[in-house]
Amino acid sequence: MPPSSFLAEVKDAVTPRATLLVVGVIALQLLFIASYVGALHDPKPKDVPFGLVAPQAAAAQAVTRIERLPGSPLDPRALPDEAAARNQLTQRDIDAALIIDPRGSTDTLLVASGGGRVLSTTLTALVTTLEKSERRTIRTIDVIPSAPHDPNGLSSFYLVIGWCVGGYLGAAALAISAGAKPSNPTRAAIRLAVMALVAIAGGLGGALITGPILDALPGSTAALWGLGTLIIFAVGAATLALQGVFGTIGIGLVILLVVILGNPSAGGALPPPLLPPFWKAIGPALPPGAGTWSTRSIAYFDNNAMTTPLLVLAAWAVAGTAITLAAAALRRRASTT
């Protein structure tokens, strides 16, 4: 067979569209590696909200000493007493607190491993070193410990990942079965309604598995169900929106936003204070980050500090719904003119 025939077969088999898709896959692969390794390869605490309880003079000195630490690992603030420190830990205003005892040589460190055991372990090691340099010792009290079946505090993160996967795969399945771009607003609305049903079922299933069935997470099953429904629908609506605007490429864009950027910045494997600046900045604005924070708040922190992440998830849901319907309306209008 002449070489030209083989080249013709190659050109026929590997179309320009297929070439672009393969290049896109390679780009997503490399971005995945860069994002995950970049976010997680060298965890260092940076400006961790940190409480200090001590007599006024000692507190001022301790705050100044901590503020001058190389690399600014802690963001110290003086608190009036231990009760205030415990309250701020519960409210998620601080991640740890040091209670200095001027009458002795042993101080008390309050941590909350429910917010991420890696962070509490890192802070314990850091403060132990600081205290040792002052010829002092610490005893550590885990005020909000992670559950016995969630020793590393990762169940909330994995639950949110599962919910996000349900969102974009559910929307992708609708696209595969009936085309990426719905032909009219009615069909777009039907897809959104189906996505809502998927979200309700997936949210309930995830809450039951991690709660009553496996006993991995404490907290209200009903609250987790509601949160899971919102997360799945937010990701699903965003996927439908991107598919409606960009077609099949929209699925790749969702993977970029949710998987490649969202998962490593979510604060699951490494809580936000241990992430590099870029990932720490984007995490709260993406569904995995908002979802992980909210899940931990439900499980360990009495539903505190959830307003902002819930608004973020609601914004994704509302924007995804609006863009999906608008794209279908514009497509319908274009087809009738």
pLDDT for 14: 67
Chain segment 64-77, per-residue pLDDT in tens: 999 999 999 999 99
Q: Decide if pLDDT at 10 tops 80.
A: no
N- to C-terminal Cα separation, the chain: 50
The predicted model gives 241-270 an average pLDDT of 92
Residues 6+ away with beta carbon under 8 Å from 116: 153, 267, 268, 270, 271, 296
Residue-averaged pLDDT of the chain: 91
Distance, in Å, from the CA atom of 28 to the CA atom of 258, rounded to the nearest integer, reads 12
Number of Cβ atoms within 10 Å of the Cβ of 73: 20
Chain segment 148-164, per-residue pLDDT in tens: 999 888 999 999 999 99
Distance, in Å, from the CA atom of 283 to the CA atom of 263, rounded to the nearest integer, reads 8
Chain segment 102-130, per-residue pLDDT in tens: 888 999 999 999 999 999 999 999 999 99
Q: Decide if pLDDT at 239 tops 90.
A: yes
pLDDT for 95: 97
Instruction: Give the pTM.
Output: 0.91
Q: Decide if pLDDT at 334 tops 80.
A: no
Q: How many helices, marked H, and strands, marked E, lie in the chain?
A: 12, 5
Closest C-alpha to 181, from 324, 20, 337, 322: 324
Chain segment 282-323, per-residue pLDDT in tens: 999 999 999 999 999 999 999 999 999 999 999 999 999 999
Q: Decide if pLDDT at 182 tops 70.
A: no
Q: Between the CA atoms of 80, 81, 84 and 88, what dihedral angle is there, to the nearest 10 degrees?
A: 90
pLDDT for 185: 86
Distance, in Å, from the CA atom of 230 to the CA atom of 94, rounded to the nearest integer, reads 27
Distance, in Å, from the CA atom of 166 to the CA atom of 87, rounded to the nearest integer, reads 36
The string over 303-335, giving b where at least 16 C-beta atoms fall within 10 Å of a residue's C-beta and e elsewhere, is eebbeebbebbeebbeebbebbbebbeebbeee
* pLDDT tier, 272 (very low <50, low <70, confident <90, very high otherwise): very high
The predicted model gives 251-265 an average pLDDT of 94
170 close to 198: Cβ distance less than 8 angstroms: yes
pLDDT for 1: 46
pLDDT for 251: 87
Residue carrying the six token digits 């969702």: 254
Residues 6+ away with beta carbon under 8 Å from 61: none
Number of Cβ atoms within 10 Å of the Cβ of 14: 11
Percent with pLDDT over 70 in the chain: 93
Q: Decide if pLDDT at 217 tops 70.
A: yes
Chain segment 199-210, per-residue pLDDT in tens: 999 999 999 999
